[in-house]
Amino acid sequence: MMLIAAFFAVEARKILDSVIAFSSLSLLSVFLFIIMKAPDVAITEASVGAGLTTAVLLITLFKMGKDDER
């Protein structure tokens, strides 16, 4: 599933679809780290990789969209 999400993140036509696929890739890696019994790495990936990075990318996309409307 991670390979499919990574491929879709690279090959998506819309940037928003790519960001969503990237976020799902981060969440899938969190589950992989939990399975590998690395909870400290999973918590870090969940907070930084899936949370903060996704939020920054989405905020940037919406601000870029507002600038295009002006």
Alpha-carbon torsion 24, 53, 10, 18, what sign? positive
Which residues, other chains included, contact 41 with Cβ-Cβ below 8 Å and sequence gap of 6+? 33
- Please give the helix or strand (H or E) that residue 3 lies within, else none: helix 2-11
Predicted structure pTM score: 0.80
Q: What range defines the domain where residue 13 resides?
A: 2-69
Q: Domains in the chain: how many in total?
A: 1
Tens of each residue's pLDDT in the chain, 70 residues: 999 999 999 999 988 899 999 999 999 999 999 999 999 999 999 999 888 999 999 999 888 876 665 5
